[in-house]
Amino acid sequence: MAFFEYEGNQVFYEELGSGKPLLLLHGNAVSSKLFNDYREFLAEKFRVIMLDFPGLGRSSRLITFRDDFWLYNAKVSFQLMDMLGYDKFDIIGTSGGAITGLNMCVLQPERIGKIIADSFFGDSLSFEDAEYLVNKRQKSKNNFMTVQYWKFHNGDDWEGVIDNDCDLMLNFTSKNLPAIYGDLSKISAETLFVATSTDELLPNILSRLDELAEKIPNVKKKYYDYGRHTFMITEKEEFRKIIHEFLL
């Protein structure tokens, strides 16, 4: 296993395949294991780079998650790409990983060629929405299958990771902070939003993404009326088609 250091924390990363560099960004409360079913498919076409954000997966644990969680992880990801020598690359981000990827597009727009941003809440979230998500998380602690899923991604200390993520959601919304920092009109990457109207975590996701798309210069959208959160994981066959059409 490979690690790099960021602000004193050990951050897990992995590279595989060959071709144009493609950075995969996982969502909140999970890890890069999320992409296990895509590894072989993507490695045939791209040089795939994955990491576990600090505090998640195989990376060092954090006492708390920062309120600017997605901006922070954008900076972590850039340090990895700098270390590996990738000046320009594409991104696939799902859920919170999509928000991290869009922060990268604002921070250093010249370095991102294309980004697929899948199943995310936009650039802001209300406190009421955060409470809804947190309540679902807390109830899921009593669901055997969900707990096994969190253990798969984070190990035996999964509950502390979930609690940190719940605190993040409540803190970030109570302070009315943005999820994406900076001027969205600076994004130069070809951008594709992917979402489904049947996303059980984000019932108003399509209107949220429509509102966000108005702020970004070069956006395409692919919306569906089937699938769940996240579309990338619940509808793999269709998402592979999206990758082929948009990135290749």
pLDDT at 116: 99
Q: Are 18 and 48 spatial neighbours (Cβ–Cβ below 8 Å)?
A: no
Q: Say yes or no to pLDDT of 140 above 90.
A: yes
Q: Which domains does the chain have, with CATH numbers?
A: 2-123+178-247 (3.40.50.1820)
Torsion of CA 79, 84, 85, 87, to 10 degrees: -60
* Helix, strand, coil percentages in the chain from 3-state DSSP, rounded to 5: 45, 20, 35
Letter for the amino acid at 137? R
pLDDT at 26: 98
CB atoms within 10 A of CB 8: 7
pLDDT at 203: 85
Reading the block at residue 100, the tokens are: 């991290």
Q: What is the pLDDT of residues 145-191, one digit of tens each?
A: 999 999 999 999 999 999 999 999 999 999 999 999 999 999 999 99
Q: Say yes or no to pLDDT of 1 above 90.
A: no
Q: Whole-angstrom Cα distance, residue 94 to residue 120?
A: 7
The model's confidence at residue 22, banded by pLDDT at 50, 70 and 90, is very high
Q: Are 197 and 228 spatial neighbours (Cβ–Cβ below 8 Å)?
A: no
Angle of helix 158-174 relative to helix 127-140, nearest 10 degrees, comes to 170
Cα dist. 197→6, 31, 214 in Å? 37, 25, 19
**Strand 20-25 to strand 89-94: parallel, antiparallel, or no bridges (unpaired)?**
parallel
Q: Are 114 and 89 spatial neighbours (Cβ–Cβ below 8 Å)?
A: no
Provide the percentage of residues in the chain whose pLDDT is more than 90.
Answer: 99
- 1 compared with 10, residue with greater pLDDT: 10
